[in-house]
Amino acid sequence: MPMADRKTALITGASFGIGLELARIFAREGYNLVLVARSADKLRQLASELEKAHGTHSLILATDLTEPGASAYVLDQTTRADIQVEVLVNNAGFGQYGMFAENDLEECLRQIQLNVTALTHLTRLYLPAMLERKSGSILNVASTAAFQPGPLMAVYYATKAYVLHFSEAIANELQGTGVTVTCLCPGPTATEFQQRAKIDGIRLTKFGTMDAHTVAEDGYRALMDGKPVAISGFKNWLVAQSVRFAPRRMAAAVARKLQER
């Protein structure tokens, strides 16, 4: 595709897992990329792979999105490089396992900073230009954790409920503007996430995991179709729906069982 015709997608958390697979898909579909994560080497490796495979131009922003100035830095860098971000993918996120009262407080707050604050901040920073152009789309990665409370990962589940509700609300506000918002809700997916959250061996993952590429394809398709919410995988969809009919206390009790080893 000629360089002038290429649109740009900005993807947070592009160094591993679902974000990395989304970067590969957007590159395959002819987008240039802004790749954001902390692991500069991984991002450089990915950019080089995608340039060879698809002629993709990538701007690498190796930054920690839990730092208060990070979202503004990302906007500043894309503005300086004269990049018009057509698609914003807020994918970076992590989870913390354990009893809330015993978990490390700093890590708990970083989780909210990344999963909630950075996602909200980047959305707010990139929306005005999209609205002015009457064109753009935002993909926010939540989780099936968004549909019920999650004992033993209380803060993580709550951050994902925020992402789902926030995304659905602004998708509604943005109707008719030319800008769409899609919330992707993956279930357990084989990535670095489990190891980082220290949830290896919990019951939930014993029911099987999806692969990151399939989840990313589901997210890409839903975004292109302008769907407000996409739950990846039929089994995950079924579980998310079943919660609607359960008393809330029962939903929490079942989630607790699934979170235990």
Ligand X SMILES: NC(=O)c1ccc[n+]([C@@H]2O[C@H](COP(=O)([O-])OP(=O)(O)OC[C@H]3O[C@@H](n4cnc5c(N)ncnc54)[C@H](OP(=O)(O)O)[C@@H]3O)[C@@H](O)[C@H]2O)c1
Distance CA 144, CA 147 (A): 6
Q: Which residues contact 88 (CB under 8 A, 6 or more apart)?
A: 9, 10, 122, 123, 126, 136, 137, 138, 139
- Name the catalytic one among 126, 156, 157, 220: 156
Distance CA 126, CA 8 (A): 13
Three-class secondary structure of residue 36 per DSSP? strand
Residue number, 178 or 237, with CB nearest to ligand X: 237
Contacting positions for ligand X (CB under 6 A): 12-19, 37-39, 42, 64-66, 91-94, 114, 141, 143, 186, 188-189, 191-193, 196
Residue number, 16 or 31, with CB nearest to ligand X: 16
Residue number, 114 or 222, with CB nearest to ligand X: 114
- Cβ at position 44, least distance to ligand X in Å: 12
- Cβ at position 4, least distance to ligand X in Å: 30
- Cβ at position 35, least distance to ligand X in Å: 9
162 catalytic, yes or no?
no
Residues identified as active-site: 156
